[in-house]
């Protein structure tokens, strides 16, 4: 993977409370780390000899958007033109589940059209990611 041509962003519902924003970005980040382990750098050692686990090798801007437009972007990501991108979504259904088994059961009974996304993460070729997200502002 050529990290120079890669980009990863997270788009989070700007109307969420701070705790849900933090939870959404944490869940998506952990999932990306599992799905794309090669973007995580090697462990490093500080001057005193203490080890620090590797972190992602490039920035991940956190962008803001409303839930209606996040849903539109998520729907576009199902199109063939964007099939090479890695996508992590985190929905209100996922956030409301107490266990992963509950999440599995409830997702099997839910159509995608009924999901409301708290956030989505998109990683892949920089031009494709920018095509979808280049006009979105940073979440501050």
Residue 3: predicted pLDDT: 67
Per-residue pLDDT tens over the stretch 17-63: 999 999 999 999 999 999 998 889 999 999 999 999 999 888 899 99
**Ordered domains of the chain (ranges, CATH):** 3-133 (3.40.1490.10)
Q: Cβ(56)–Cβ(49) under 8 Å?
A: no
Neighbours of 39 (CB within 10 A): 20
Best CA proximity match to 122, nearest among 91, 82, 92, 94: 82
Residue 2: predicted pLDDT: 67
Per-residue pLDDT tens over the stretch 117-131: 999 999 999 999 999
Q: How far is CA 131 from the centre of its chain?
A: 16
């Amino acid at each position: 993977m050529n990290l120079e041509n890669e980009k990863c962003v997270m788009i989070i519902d700007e109307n969420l409370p701070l705790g849900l924003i933090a939870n959404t970005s944490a869940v998506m980040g952990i999932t990306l780390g599992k799905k794309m382990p090669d973007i995580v750098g090697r462990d490093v050692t500080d001057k005193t000899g203490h080890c620090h686990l590797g972190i992602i090798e490039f920035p991940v801007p956190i962008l803001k958007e409303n839930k209606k437009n996040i849903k539109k972007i998520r729907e576009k990501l199902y199109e063939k033109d964007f099939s090479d991108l890695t996508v992590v979504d985190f929905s209100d259904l996922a956030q409301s589940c107490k266990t992963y088994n509950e999440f599995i059961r409830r997702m099997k009974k839910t159509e995608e059209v009924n999901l409301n996304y708290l956030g989505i993460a998109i990683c892949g070729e920089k031009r494709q990611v920018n095509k979808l997200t280049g006009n979105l502002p940073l979440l501050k």
